[in-house]
Structures are given as structure tokens and as C-alpha cells.
Amino acid sequence: LYRYFSVTEARFGIITNGIIYKFYSDIEESNKMDKKPFFEFNLLNFEEHHLEELKKFTKSSFNLESIISTASTLKYTAAIKKTFAEEISNPSDEFIKFFVSKVYSGVKTQNIISQFSKIVKNALNQFIREKINDRLKSALNDESNDEEQESSDVNSKNENKQVDDGIITTDEEIEGYNYIKAIVRDVIDVNRIHMRDTKSYCGVLLDDNNRKPICRLHFNSTTKKYIGIFSQKNETKNLIDEVKDIFNHSKEIQNAVLEYIEREKANTPKNEEIKLLKY
């Protein structure tokens, strides 16, 4: 594709394996195809804004100058997002030094940089979790005033921490509970979802009914976390590294709720047709 691009008048080049489509142009140097694409579209993993960019290549919407003008922004935005994701996952020394220079007044030796490596990584992940949690709380609170009151009650419990029966509801359990409500909101009214904490696990129930468990948050261990998801009254425990990994099990959690919905439908008496007998 690189060789063909320079000998044609085409302004765009597209290469694909049938699933991932990579769009190239000559943003960095005229008449010479860039080594990296300015836009990628994955048929199996895309977001709404990707569709908006793809629509620009349709016959009815195609505008060469418009696409060229936004191609540079798309390319570097994607590159920055990718770099940022890599830095969060595995911070480089340069990235760590930036934060160290803001918070540490001593000599920035290599030993200090190494010490701050884990601190910076944990701080960034914690910040992201808090932001996600804040967004989820905001979205869920908009559902109804009742849910807002429920959230207030949960936060109040968290502030008190220690209750009479010795059960402590942790921040991570509340965070996990909010994630679960966000996951099931598309299949059921979240006002029917309730949290019931115990000494050994934090349970998430439908209709606050012990006979309708959706999942259990096993977060009491200091080394491992599990989310137990119910299906056919059986609990399957799944190991997770972080609370946000609950989203990796969204389908199973939704299915647990859907099972109860199906049972409710099956147990609802159908209106029987009344036939009048004429004699």
C-alpha cells in the first residue's frame, strides 16, 4: 500500500483484514503515505464517535477538504490516548518524574523515581476509579428520588463504618454495588436492586430478597477479591484484580437478573379465556 500510494492521485489508503480497517493519508509529508493510520475502525469493537467519522467516507457525505482537515486531529488524538493508556499501565521514568517534580522537593535520584513508580500508578488508577464511581453515582441518582435517598443511606452507613453487629461496609463494596446497578439498569428497574452486607460477603439482591441473590462481593480478603455470580441458584466465584473488573462479567450479571424475570413471567397466571356455554 505504501508503494502504491505515492504513484497515484489518491489522498487516502485503506488496508484491512476484514475486521479492522486502517485509514492512511499524507499528513506528515505531502505525497508520502504516513507510517501510522489516522483512523482505525474495528467491526467488533467500536464506539459511537467512530461511526460518525466513518460516515464522512460515505458517498453522500464525502468532503475531501473536511476529512483532510480533521485527519491530523484524529491521528494525534488517538496517539495521545494510546500513549496515556500505556503510561497508566506502565509509567515511564519521564512520566513519573513529571509528578515527582510537583510533589517532592528533595533530590530526584533514580532510587526516588523507583519508589514513586508504584505510588504514581496507584494514584492514577485510584483517581480513575473515583471519577468512574462519581459518574455512575450521578447517573444512578438521576433515576429517581428514591434511589438518591438510598445512596444517601449507603453513604451514611459508610461514614459510620462500624455498625452494631460488627459488619463494616467498605468503599470498595459500595463501589462494586454501584457498578452492578449500572450494569443491570438496561434490563431491570435499579430500584429493585439492593445491597445486604454480612460479615463474610456483601450480597446484591433482587427486591431485597435473600431468595433472589444476584451476586456476592467477596472483598474481605486483603490479598484476593472475588465476585460470586448466581445462575440456577448456584454461585460461581470469579477472581478479579480490581473492583472495576466487575464490568468484565456484565453479561453473567445481567443473565442472573434475567433468570428471575423469566421466572416471574412463568409464575404470572395468564388470563384464561372465559367461554359462555349456551344451552
Distance of CA 272 to CAs 15, 190, 268, 269, 275, Å?
Answer: 60, 32, 12, 8, 9
User: Which residues, in sequence order, are CB contacts of 121 under 8 Å at separation 6+?
Assistant: 88, 90, 91
* pLDDT greater at residue 77 or residue 177: 177
Residue 79 has pLDDT above 90, yes or no: no
Residue in the block written with cell 522537593 = 105
pLDDT of residue 133: 80
Task: Please give the average per-residue pLDDT across 203-208, as a whole number.
Answer: 94
What confidence tens digit (pLDDT) does each residue in 27-76 have?
777 778 888 888 888 988 888 888 888 888 888 888 887 787 788 788 88
Average pLDDT over residues 84-95: 87
The pLDDT, as a whole number, for residue 177 is 93
Q: Is the predicted pLDDT of residue 273 greater than 50, yes or no?
A: no
Across 8-164, the runs of DSSP E, i.e. the strands, are 13-16, 20-24, 39-42
Is residue 7 very low, low, confident or very high in pLDDT (cuts 50, 70, 90)? low
Among 28-37, 79-88, 236-245, the minimum mean pLDDT is found in 28-37
> Is the pLDDT assigned to residue 253 strictly greater than 60?
yes
Look at residue 107 and give its three-state secondary structure: coil
Predicted local confidence at residue 196, as pLDDT: 94
The band of 268, judged by pLDDT with boundaries at 50, 70 and 90, is: low
**In whole angstroms, how large is the CA radius of gyration of the chain?**
26
